[in-house]
Amino acid sequence: MIGFKEEVQLAIPALRRYARALTHDADVADDLVQDTLVRALRSQHLFLGGELRSWLYTILTNLNRNRLRSLARRPAITVIGDNDAPGASNPDVGGRDIERALAGLVEEQRTALLLVVLEGLSYREVAEVQGVPIGTVMSRVARARLQIKTYLEDERPMLRRVK
């Protein structure tokens, strides 16, 4: 049988991916993952069984929310690298566009969409992570998709004109 620590270890790559997509900053993302791991190991005695992966996503999501709250007391800065090349494999929608679109979402919607789309959690699992009913998760995902679609449709023609 696989131990608690081994299972946490196996989750690290996915946690890093989720944290990166949440924050768009490699250092901040790894700090979040580190805090999540420390907290998970420290709280091992409180883990009551069940889906360990969901629990880790819950911790990371809560820590990120705390981080955003403390940032909110300072002026908001969204830093997105200017030298990122648009995704070569997909000339229509560059990686940078999607980063900007994600950065423009409110936190709960970004979290819900990323957990569903990027991390493959079920609506029910996301509902547990966010501590809300499934219907709320669905409306967050729907609003996130609508806003990203609008953003990409509005922004891309403008970028083309600039070029």
Partner 1 sequence: MMRDNDLPVTEDELHAYVDGELPADRRTTVEAWLAKHPDDAARVAAWRLQADVIRARYADVATQAIPAKLNLARMSYASRPWKAAAAAAVVAAFFLGGFAGWMARDTSGDLPTAFQQLTAQALDAHKVYAVEVRHPVEVAASDAEHLQQWLSKRVGYPLRAPNLESQGLHLIGGRLLPTPTGTAAAFFMYENASGERFTFYCTRAAGPNTAMRYSGEDKAAAIYWVDDNIVYVISGASERKQLWQVARAAYDQLEPRVTDERG
Min dist CB 32 to partner 1, Å, is 11
Among 37, 56, 60, 105, binds partner 1 (CB under 8 A): 37
Min dist CB 158 to partner 1, Å, is 18
Among 25, 52, 99, 100, binds partner 1 (CB under 8 A): 99
Min dist CB 157 to partner 1, Å, is 16
Q: How far apart are CA 10 and CA 52, in angstroms?
A: 11
Write the single-letter amino acid at 152. L
Buried b (16+ CB within 10 A) or exposed e, 25-61: beebbeebbebbbeebeeeeeeeeeeebbbbbbbbbb
Decide whether 62 or 104 has the Cβ nearer to partner 1: 62
Torsion of CA 98, 100, 102, 107, to 10 degrees: 170
How many residues contact partner 1, by CB under 8 A?
A: 54
Tokens 């969204």 appear where? 78
Q: CA nearest 117: which of 55, 101, 63?
A: 101
Among 46, 76, 85, 162, binds partner 1 (CB under 8 A): 46
Q: Taking CB under 8 A as the rule, does residue 87 contact partner 1?
A: yes
Going residue by residue from 100 to 139, which x/- string records binding to partner 1, judged by CB under 8 A?
--x----------xx-xxx---xx-------xx-----x-
Cα dist from 125 to 67, 84, 120, 132, 159, whole Å = 23, 33, 10, 10, 38
**In this structure, are residues 122 and 34 in contact, taking their beta carbons and an 8 Å threshold?**
no
Which positions touch partner 1 (CB under 8 A)? 5, 8-9, 12-14, 16-17, 20-21, 30, 33-35, 37-39, 41-46, 48, 58-59, 62-63, 66, 87, 89-90, 92-93, 95, 98-99, 102, 113-114, 116-118, 122-123, 131-132, 138, 141-142, 145, 148-149, 152
